[in-house]
Amino acid sequence: MELYELNLWMLTEGLKAGKFSASEVFTSCKNRIDKCEGNIHALITRTDNEMPAFSKDGTLAGIPTIIKDNLCTKGLRTTAASKILGDWRPPYDATAWARLKDSGAVLMGKANMDEFAMGNTCGNSAFGPTHNPNDITRVPGGSSGGSAAAVSAGYVPFSLGSDTGGSIRQPASYCGVYGFKPTYGMVSRYGLISYGSSLDQIGPFARTIRDLQIVMSVISGHDKMDSSSFRNKPHDFTHNENASIKGKRIAVVKEFAGFTLDAPIADAMKRTLKILEDEGAIITEVSLPVVSKYAVACYYALAMSEAHTNLERYDGVRLGYTVKDARGIKEMFERVRSEGFGAEVKARIIAGTCLTEPTRCEEYYVAATKVRTLIAQEFSRAFGETDYILQPVTPSMPGKIGESDDDAMKGYEADLYTLPVNLAGLPGLSFFTGYAGNLPVGLQLIGARWSDSEILDAGMILERHFGSPKISDGGVN
C-alpha cells in the first residue's frame, strides 16, 4: 500500500512509531497529485514544490492537507476562485488554518471552488471546473468540490472546506468521503472570505470518522477574533470505540416522504434505517412544515442579501483586480466588477441589491429573518422529540459537467435537504453508504446545536457497517 492511501489516523500513528518519515508521506502525496491533477483540477494553487518546515510536536505533525481557497493564508495567493481578487496575498492566516499549521500540518495547496462559494457544482470558478474523481465526466459538487475531490483522489488524508448551504455535505456525498458541517460557532470564521456571514461555517473532509474527530479536535474552540465563535460549549472529539446508539431516537421528516429520490439514494435510506434499527435505535418521524415549505426561499433571500453586502468591498481600489485605463472612478468601479465577477456571483449580488432596497427590505429581507427564527424554533421542537434526523443530502446522483448550466433553478431546488441546517446553525454529517456502479452514495445525519461530537459517534457506528470509502481512481488508474 502506498503512503497516500493511508487514512489520517494511520499516518499519525505510523509517523509516531517511526514506520515512515514525514518526507516520505509528503513525496507520496505529491506524486499522487502529479498523477491525477491533470484530470481532476482540484487545486488552484500548489504549494508542494518542496517539504516545508513544520511543527514536530503537534497532533498533525507532518500530515499533508489542502484547504479551500476562500481561507486566508498569509503571503500565499488566495483567490476565492474569482478573477476579482487577482494575485491577492493576505497579511494574516485564517484561524482554522493557523491551528492546523500550529499542530504541524503541511499545506499542499489551495482547493478549487465555486467563485466566492456560490454554487453547487464547483463549475463556477474563474479557473475552470473540478471533475469528480470517481467519474471525471461528472461534477464533484460544490462549492467545496476541490477539497472533497482532493481527499477522494488521495491527494491528502483530510482537507478543509466551508459550508454556507450544503457546500461541505453535498461534495462529500458526490465524491465519496465523509464531510462535517459543525454547529455555527464551533469553528472560528476569522479569515474565511465571507459569502453569507450568518450561514458560513468551516469544516473538514476525510475518509474516516476517526479522521474527522482528529481534525475537529484541532480546529474547534473559541477565537477572540470571531465574535460568533462559542464560549464554554462542550467539544470533546475524543475517539470512542464503545459508542452506541441503542435507545437513541432517529427520525425521518414527514414532509419529505413523498419527494422523488434517485433509486440509489432511496435504497441507501432504507438500508441505513434498517442498520440503525438493528443497532437498537428507535426510528420515528418528525414534522417540519415550515422548513419544507419556506426554507429555500428564506435561505436565498438571506444569503443573497448578505452576499450583496459582503462583496461591496471589491471595488478595484483596496485589493485585487483593477483597471488602469478607466476614465474616472465610476467607470473603473463598473469595469472592475463587470470584468472581475463571474455570472453566478453577479446574479446573486443583483438579487441581494434588490432584496435590500428600502422599498423591498421589509417585504423580503426582514420577512426572511422572521421565517429563519421560525425554522430554528421548529428544529428545536423536533429535537425535543428525537436525537437525530436522517435524510438525503441531495435527491439525485452527481450530474454531468455542464448539465446544471441549462437549469439553474433545478440546482437551487436540490438544496432543500441541506440549506435548513445552516439557517438553524445545526451540525450535519455527510456519510458514505456505498457505491452505485462507480459513483458513491451519501446521506446525512443532523443533530441539535452543540451535538457535534455525538453525531460523529453515531457516524462511526454507520461506518462499521458501510466501511470506509476507497480512494477513487482519479481517471488514471
What does the alpha-carbon distance between residue 116 and residue 395 come to, in Å, rounded to a whole number? Answer: 24
The single residue of 68, 101, 110, 248 carrying the catalytic annotation is 68
Phi-psi region of 368 (alpha: psi -120 to 50; beta: other; left: phi over 0): alpha
What does the alpha-carbon distance between residue 340 and residue 326 come to, in Å, rounded to a whole number? Answer: 14
The single residue of 28, 82, 125, 143 carrying the catalytic annotation is 143
Q: How far is CA 26 from CA 69, 215, 445, in A?
A: 20, 18, 33
Strand ranges (E), 197-305: 202-206, 249-253, 282-286
- Cell of residue 460, nine digits: 462511526
- Three-state DSSP class for 468? coil
Answer yes or no: 103 catalytic. Answer: no
The single residue of 28, 103, 167, 305 carrying the catalytic annotation is 167
Answer yes or no: 68 catalytic. Answer: yes
The answer for residues whose C-beta is within 8 angstroms of residue 98's C-beta and 6 or more apart is 191
Q: How far is CA 251 from CA 42, 311, 345, 382, 458, in A?
A: 36, 39, 36, 9, 14
What does the alpha-carbon distance between residue 234 and residue 30 come to, in Å, rounded to a whole number? Answer: 37
The bridge status of strand 64-68 relative to strand 106-111 is: parallel
Answer yes or no: 228 catalytic. Answer: no
Give strand pairing partners of 159.
66, 205
**Residue numbers annotated as active site:** 68, 143, 167
